[in-house]
Amino acid sequence: MHEVYNELTHFIPKEQLLIDEPMKNHTSFRIGGPADLMVLPSEIEHIRSTLEVCQKWNVPFIIMGNGSNLLVRDKGIRGVVIKIANTFNRIWVEGCCIKAQAGALLSTLSKKALQAELKGLEFASGIPGTLGGAIVMNAGAYGGEMKDVVDWVKVMDAHGSEFCLDNAELEFGYRTSYVQKRGLIVLEANLALSPGKYAEIKAVMADLTRKRQEKQPLSLPSAGSVFMRPPGYFAGKLIEDAGLKGFRIGDAQVSEKHAGFIVNLGNATANDVLSLIEVIQQRVKEKYGVELKPEIRIVGEE
C-alpha cells in the first residue's frame, strides 16, 4: 500500500489520503475495522488517478458515499476506499433542475429544492445518504424514489472513462439500477423537478419528518432498513410477527421501535449484526417461508 499511497500523493493532497482509517468513523452504524487507505476526492481527476494507480498495483478498491447503508466487517477493508461524500458535493440550481456532484447529501438537496420552490424531492428529505448512493440503489421512501426525479447521470467506469446515462438507460428497479449492475461510479446527476409553493413543499417535508421520528429509531446508530421488501410483505412486520422485536446479540438489537431496523446499542461488532441477520432470516423462513434479502451493503474482510 505504500507504493499506492506515495504515487497518489503526486495527484491528491496528503490530507485527503487517510492510512489505516477506522471505518466505524465513516458509517452510520458506527461499526467497522480499518481501511488500508481511504481517498477523499474533491475533483473527478482524483477519482480517475486513484483507479489508475489501483490497477497499476493490482490493489482492490471500493466506492462508498456517506456510509448510511453500509456494514463493514470487523477486520476492515483491504485495499482502497474511495469516499465520495462531503469533499465532492457541489450543487447548482438551474431553473427547474438541480445539478449536483455525487457526494451531495439528499437532505441538503431537498433543502435546496425547498429554497428554490421546486417540488418532487420531498420524499428524500429524511434519507441520510448521498446522491450517488441513492442513484446506485434507486433509494426511495414514502411513495417516491430516485427514478422519479433523475434526468441524467454522469458516470465513470473502472477504466476512468466518463459518459452520461439518461433516465431510461439507468434501468431503475426496486433498490437497483444499471449503475449498480455494471459497477459504475456516479460523478454527478441532474434532477428534474417542478415549480411548487414554498409553504406546501415545507408542509410535506415536515409531515414526512414527523412520520420518520414516530416510526424509526433515529436516536441510535443503524443503517436504515436492513432487508428489502419481499413481494407481498413488509420485512419489519414479518420480523415483529416472528417475535424478534427487541431481540439482541451482543450490542446489535432488532429495534424495539421498528423491527425492520437493527440498531447499535453502543459497542456492536459487525459479527453481532451478521449473526443477528442470520437469526432473523432463519426464523422468518421457518415461520413464513419468506426469504429476506439484505438491503444493506456488507463489505470488508471476513
> Which residue matches cell numbers 456517506?
66
State the cell numbers at 148. 422519479
Residues 6+ away with beta carbon under 8 Å from 296: 69, 70, 71, 223, 224, 226
pLDDT per residue as tens digits for the range 106-124: 999 999 999 999 999 999 9
Q: Is pLDDT at 1 greater than 90 in this prediction? A: no
CA distance 106 to 185: 17
Whole-model pTM: value is: 0.96
Task: Return the SS3 of 249.
Answer: strand
In order, the DSSP letters of 116-176 are TTEES-GGGGG--SBHHHHHHTT-EETTEEGGGTEEEEEEE-TTS-EEEEETTTTT-BTTB
Q: Residue 145: its pLDDT value, please?
A: 96
Q: Residue 179: its pLDDT value, please?
A: 98
CA distance 284 to 271: 20
CA distance 28 to 70: 8
Which residues belong to the active site?
A: 175, 225, 295
